[in-house]
Amino acid sequence: MGYILGSIFCIWGVIVIANSIFKMNKIDLKAKSRFPANIFLN
């Protein structure tokens, strides 16, 4: 039983981290599209 709960929490954690990274990437893309200078600076 403990192994099942552990694996579920592990998978859930990976999904949450992936979602936060994806959202951050979307925000970065929006910021770069708003400020074209950022693309040249980075």
Closest of 40, 17, 19 to residue 27, by C-alpha? 19
> What is the pLDDT at residue 22?
82
Q: What residue segments make up the domains of the chain, in order of their start?
A: 2-41
> What is the pLDDT at residue 31?
64
Supply the DSSP string of 1-42, one letter for each residue: -HHHHHHHHHHHHHHHHHHHHHHHHHHHHHHHHH-HHHHHH-
Question: From the centroid of its chain, how far is CA 2?
Answer: 28
pLDDT, tens digit only, all 42 positions of the chain:
789 999 999 999 999 998 888 887 776 766 666 666 555 554
> What is the pLDDT at residue 9?
93
d(C-alpha 8, C-alpha 3), whole Å: 9
